[in-house]
């Protein structure tokens, strides 16, 4: 394997402690550090060393596709790494958003000459595993519950929204359309009326918290249509295409199909394309957004999701534990979270400290991890 140098994205909602602390750098960092990208997406490709100079993983895949990706992977996904591994560290809410499915992404990219909504032709399902306590909004809950919550605020202007929600899942689309199409001049007053209501409970707390940053954003009310979950470390949420979601606060390891297609739905100063979002969203109740880890070997768990683009495994080894051997298809990326671990795929062993990552090629052998510590392993999930 080879050491892999990730790229840090400095989005404004990022933490100034989480990624710096993981990598053993001074805390706080000079600015927000929102995501550590460990992949080959052209937006911020990770690098490996070649004769003392960094070379992007993207360039290496193009130069030696058979070596890095292998015939099976190229046949299924083309000459690209189909997954992107990240560390995500949020100190403030991310925008509410959804992602297209594969067919929508292909068609949208072909039609979107200005790349406003569809920057690439790929879907973007996501799995996030909490490293700390993690708050998120994910997927529509029962619209009858949402109707009761919004009705309790007693705001007459919201009665059409309540009526739509009382129509069941079929009314979800109209409720979202009404809220996101609210006249801009009336939005501050609408949110203020909701916050002025003498209502207690977790939903009111959520709305008031979001309104601190977005006092004129109807996404504050759309948030009340979604599941609000608080993950414990090790729990995960799975976001398939078309599910509206927002990460609110916390640190996690995220793996996704390598795409940057985002359709925003609020909690953002950026553009919200209401019509396109409504076309992509799945207006159905997401019964259970939380995914539990599944043991697959001593010290190894995974989170099973129905895509071939990626798989994620966590390896935890205590002192004296035998090495773990993983036979995973295609290239592998390993991120060390704690301790000290040696990773070897037959090409050469690499010792990883917390915050360091390594990458191996498809032509290498099975991955062997030894030592004492914790690591996450990203790979494809081809059968």
- Catalytic residues, by residue number, are 264
- Contact call for residues 84 and 376 (beta carbons, < 8 A): no
- Contact call for residues 236 and 125 (beta carbons, < 8 A): no
Check the CA dihedral 244-219-206-259 and report its sign.
Answer: positive
Residue 337's SS3 state is strand
CA torsion, points 115, 257, 14, 54, in degrees to nearest 10?
Answer: -90
Q: Is the peptide bond before 236 cis (omega within 30 degrees of 0)?
A: no
Instruction: Count Cβ atoms within 10 A of the Cβ of residue 161 and give its class: 0-12 exposed, 13-18 middle, 19 or more buried.
Output: buried
State how far the Cα of 46 lies from the Cα of 275, in Å rounded to an integer. Answer: 35
Report the first-to-last Cα separation within the chain, whole angstroms: 23
Tell me 194's DSSP state.
Answer: H
């Amino acid at each position: 394997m080879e050491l892999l140098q990730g790229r840090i994205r400095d989005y404004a909602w990022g933490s100034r402690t989480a990624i710096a602390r993981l990598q053993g750098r001074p805390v706080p960092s000079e600015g927000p550090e929102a995501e550590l990208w460990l992949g080959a997406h052209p937006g911020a490709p990770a690098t490996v060393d070649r004769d003392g100079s960094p070379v992007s993983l993207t360039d290496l895949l193009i130069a030696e596709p058979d070596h890095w990706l292998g015939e099976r992977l190229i046949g299924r996904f083309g000459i690209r790494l189909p997954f992107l591994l990240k560390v995500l560290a949020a100190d403030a809410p991310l925008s509410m958003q959804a992602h297209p499915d594969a067919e929508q992404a292909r068609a949208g990219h072909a039609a979107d000459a200005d790349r406003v909504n569809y920057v690439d032709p790929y879907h973007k399902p996501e799995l996030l595993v909490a490293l700390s306590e993690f708050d998120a909004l994910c997927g529509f809950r029962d619209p009858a519950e949402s109707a009761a919550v919004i009705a309790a605020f007693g705001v007459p202007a919201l009665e059409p929204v309540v009526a739509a929600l009382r129509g069941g899942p079929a009314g979800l689309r109209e409720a979202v359309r009404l809220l996101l199409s609210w006249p801009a001049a009336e939005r501050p007053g609408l949110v203020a009326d909701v916050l002025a209501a003498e209502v207690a409970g977790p939903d009111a707390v959520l709305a008031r918290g979001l309104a601190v940053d977005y006092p004129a954003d109807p996404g504050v009310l759309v948030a009340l249509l979604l599941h609000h979950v608080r993950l414990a470390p090790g729990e995960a949420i799975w976001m398939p295409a078309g599910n509206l979601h927002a990460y609110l606060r916390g640190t996690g390891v995220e793996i996704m199909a390598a795409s940057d297609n985002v359709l925003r739905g609020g909690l953002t100063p950026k553009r919200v394309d209401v019509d396109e979002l409504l076309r992509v969203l799945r207006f159905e109740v997401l019964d259970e957004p939380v995914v539990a880890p599944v043991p697959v070997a001593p010290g190894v768990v995974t989170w099973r999701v129905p895509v071939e683009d990626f798989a994620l495994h966590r390896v935890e080894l205590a002192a004296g534990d035998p090495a773990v051997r993983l036979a995973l298809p295609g290239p592998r990326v390993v991120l060390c979270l704690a301790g000290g671990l040696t990773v070897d795929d037959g090409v050469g062993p690499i010792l990883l400290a917390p915050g360091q990552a390594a990458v191996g090629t498809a032509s290498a052998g099975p991955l062997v991890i030894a030592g004492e510590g914790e690591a996450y392993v990203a790979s494809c999930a081809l059968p």
